[in-house]
A and B are shown apart, each in its own frame.
Chain A
Amino acid sequence: MKRLRVLKLGWEFPPLINGGLGIACLGLSRALAKYVDLRVVVPRIDPDAQFDGFTLTGLNCTRVEDLQKVEGTYQYDSFAQVERIPIHLDPYDSDETLSTQSVRSSGGLARFSRTTRDQLALFKMGELYGSDLGDKVVEFSKVCAKLAMMQDFDVVHAHDWMTFLAGVEVKKATGKPLVVHVHASQYDRAGADARGWIFELEKFGMEQADRVIPVSRYTGKIVAGHYGIDPDKIRPVHNGADPVEVFQTHKKFPEKLVLFLGRLTAQKGPEFFLEIAARVLEVNPDVRFVMAGTGEKLRPLIESGAFRGLGGHFHFTGFLNKEKVNELLSMTDVYCMPSVSEPFGLSALEAAQFGIPAVISKQSGVAEVLKGALKADFWDVPLMAKHINDLLTDDELRARVVKQAQADIAASTWDAAAAKVVEIYHELV
């Protein structure tokens, strides 16, 4: 079989990452590079970062001269009708902004003209998910289309909504098949009733795509049901988990430790964790609950915890770096992930690598991978609490859950994920 050439479009890439997307993109890219010729294009890279096996292009390091060859040979199809784009875009806000700005105001006929230094400069400054996210998404698409025209490849593979527009543009410019990868959707981030620019982009991207790869069957159902995408082109592929260096730390206090790790937003169900903690502490006071992470719900959660009288047994750490997270994992007894909607949930796999049994919500992708983990609906606080209590008190159960998790992790490699993705490419080429 001939070695495929793949153009991959991503948004964040290590070491410049905000969440799990960058880590997943790197994991998959590394593994894919063994099977295909891979070029990854993202808005911004760390110029000092080195990756073997694939080519990484950051628009922050791209010069106007690099695009010279294809200037004027193609007109941006998708933008012909774009008049206005949203400003102050926040993917985690279900109430998407109504304020927009005219695309024409900045540079008049820019959408049909040459890429300017100003446009490329956009990728050098500001936050990747800053208030000019809308601008970045549009400019990224334009530049990607040009870059795509300057090289040969067989498939374009776009990761999450920020790159879907670019993926569609590349497909139109080159006629190559498009695969879109859904790591998270607006349904997860902002709820089932979230509508707006991001939702529309997601739907548009998935409709235009030849294959949609959700990171779990759970997300596949959302793609089909919520976004109305043809189930025949949906191919779930579970994420892998890179092995982490595992160590044990002796706890400095006698109580057991139950951990919640994640952004403190509605999606992750932190309020449920608080309720679960209150339940567990009613029957077992020798437990400490730790909520690691930060987010817009931090302050209300602190107040809610104080109101329930959980302080002293319920601890907030705020944002923790990787090192601190690992230190925390090394002394954790039970990992709890009560997410309201979790496309995958890599952190549960990382916890499993530390030999920590997990109690996870059924509304998560990782529930399909961790077969032995104890599960409950995210809203089923009594059952979640019972699971935690059982794991804290029943050593045999605990050992069983941990053992099954070890087997599940062993199967969860990026290599396995990449092999499936390559099969999907071959359906198209």
Chain B
Amino acid sequence: MPAVCLYFQVHQPNRLIPYDFFRIGDHAFYEDDRLNAEILTKVADKCYLPANEMFTRAIEASGGEFKFALSLSGTLIEQMEHHRPDALESFKRLVATGRVEMLGETYYHSLAFVHSRREFERQVALHQEKLGEVFSVRSRVFRNTELIYSNAIASAAEMLGFQGILGEGVDWLLNGDSPDHLYRAPQASKIKTLLRNAKLSDDLGFRFSDQNWPDWPLTPEKFADWVAQSPGEIVNLFLDYETIGEHQWRDTGIFDFWERLPAAMLERGITFVTPGEAVAKIPVWGRYDCQTPTSWADRERDLSAWMGNVMQREAIEKIHVIEEAVLKKKDPDLTHAWAKLQTSDHFHYMATKTGTDGEVHDYFSPYASPYDAYIYFMNALADLHVRLKRLPDAAGVSVPGRTAG
């Protein structure tokens, strides 16, 4: 019988104001604080608070057998600190049950790895620091933004001391193998890779509320039967936390489903493991060779959700090209503002995809079109450039490659 490894991503971005040309050089705050607070409040009330409570009850009811992992982005933790401390407290109580493992990620929910190893490591360290400060925990397993994964990312996570890393189990790399095992990347020696079971995860994240789905309505018993049929040691169910109560509303029965799922699993002899426990006790089954980054987004399961068109590629290139110049100023506000512009969602809004994936991009976007998203982002970035020019260089810092005087 396989074990179930359950992980939820919890993230909110800092959406930008419609930053028009006339603000450049004059308006140094790029984020739509009101909108961000509004959305956080909606999601906290519809998902975070009730889901945390529901899961706390489920953990108690299972006598501690039910457990799972959460990954909270740094941007979300900050938003809760500012706007909804009660939601953050609720997460703290949930973590305090001892049955919820916290995963490591990039603080800004960014694509930093793709562009800068140094910035990636800086953000992972920042996130680790924040977890210690807020939850008094240290993460042992890493999950990169939007489940972006490659051999190189696995190796990088290993170098940073992580014992496990999460990735999307993509068909063309599994090549007929099941995602329900632990894998190892070719160059890695210790770190183990957990691959998402896309089919079963999406049954819960998307199809659960789809009345045209032949398996609708899905019951905890039916789902537990499916899991029991897995050929592997572990079934990795990775999904967004917001699928509970926000993307799928309460009236779909989603809360009731989750609350009853642990018992249905346990009755069938299916146990729960957290990612940390899984890498500690389940051996590696085989090699998983992922040379080009994959993700859990869109049908392509690659980086095209954020880097698929010229606007996205330019925006992301322009934000990273100033890394050296920004860090050199040693100005915490500037660095923070710059890093927040790296959040993957900004580029997600610029996608010009059509069809079902296009609808997903539109659903999340606060802007009228991807073109608006690009324009506002580039204008905000232009302002950041102006600030960069105006700030004096940090005192006493020698600039590599230049002689003094």
Contacts and interface: CB of A to CB of B under 8 A. Distances in A.
A312 B378 contact: yes
A312 B319 CA distance: 10
A303 B382 contact: no
Interface string B352-387: 000000000000000000010011001101110110
Given A303-B311, A306-B314, A252 B381 contact: no
Nearest to A254: B389
Tell me what chain B mostly uses at the interface: helix, strand, loop, or mixed.
helix
Contact of A324 (B22, B311, B374, B386): B22
Nearest to B21: A315
Contact of B20 (A252, A254, A317): A317
B378 A311 contact: yes
A251 interface: yes
Nearest to A251: B25
A291 to B, nearest CB: 10
Interface string A259-299: 00000000000000000000000000000101000000011
A303 B22 CA distance: 21
B318 interface: yes
Nearest to B27: A252
A309 interface: yes
A312 B385 contact: yes
B375 A316 contact: yes
Given A253-B24, A298-B371, A315 B382 contact: yes
B315 A311 contact: yes
B174 interface: no
A307 interface: yes
18 contacts: A251-B25, A253-B24, A253-B386, A254-B386, A254-B389, A288-B24, A299-B371, A307-B310, A307-B314, A309-B318, A311-B311, A311-B378, A311-B381, A312-B385, A315-B24, A315-B375, A315-B382, A324-B22
A386 interface: no
Interface residues of A, number: 23
B324 interface: no
A327 interface: yes
A303 B25 CA distance: 24
Interface in A311-366: 311-313, 315-318, 324, 327-328
B9 to A, nearest CB: 29
A31 interface: no
Contacts of A324: 22
A251 B22 CA distance: 9
Contacts of B375: 302, 315-316, 318
Contacts, number: 65
Contacts of B371: 298-299, 302
B309 interface: yes
5 A-B pairs with the lowest CB-CB distances in the bound complex, closest first: A252-B25, A253-B25, A252-B26, A306-B314, A306-B310
Contacts of A298: 371
A254 B383 CA distance: 11
B198 to A, nearest CB: 32
Given A307-B314, A316-B21, 12 more contacts: A251-B25, A252-B24, A252-B26, A254-B386, A288-B382, A298-B371, A311-B311, A311-B381, A315-B375, A316-B375, A317-B21, A317-B22
Nearest to A299: B371
A290 B382 CA distance: 13
A263 B314 CA distance: 25
A312 B309 contact: no
A274 to B, nearest CB: 13
B326 to A, nearest CB: 14
A311 B21 contact: no
Nearest to A324: B22
A257 to B, nearest CB: 10
Interface string B287-313: 000000000000000000000011101
Interface string B218-256: 000000000000000000000000000000000000000
A303 B370 CA distance: 11
Contacts of B374: 302, 306, 311
Contacts of B381: 311-312
B264 to A, nearest CB: 50
- Among A252, A317, A324, the most chain B Cβ lie within 10 Å of the Cβ of A252
A299 to B, nearest CB: 6
From A290, A302, A318, residue with most partner B Cβ within 10 Å: A302
A214 B313 CA distance: 47
Contact of B21 (A290, A303, A306): A290
Interface string B13-40: 0000000111011100000000000000
Contacts of B311: 302-303, 306, 311
A298 B374 CA distance: 13
A299 B381 CA distance: 20
A311 B318 contact: yes
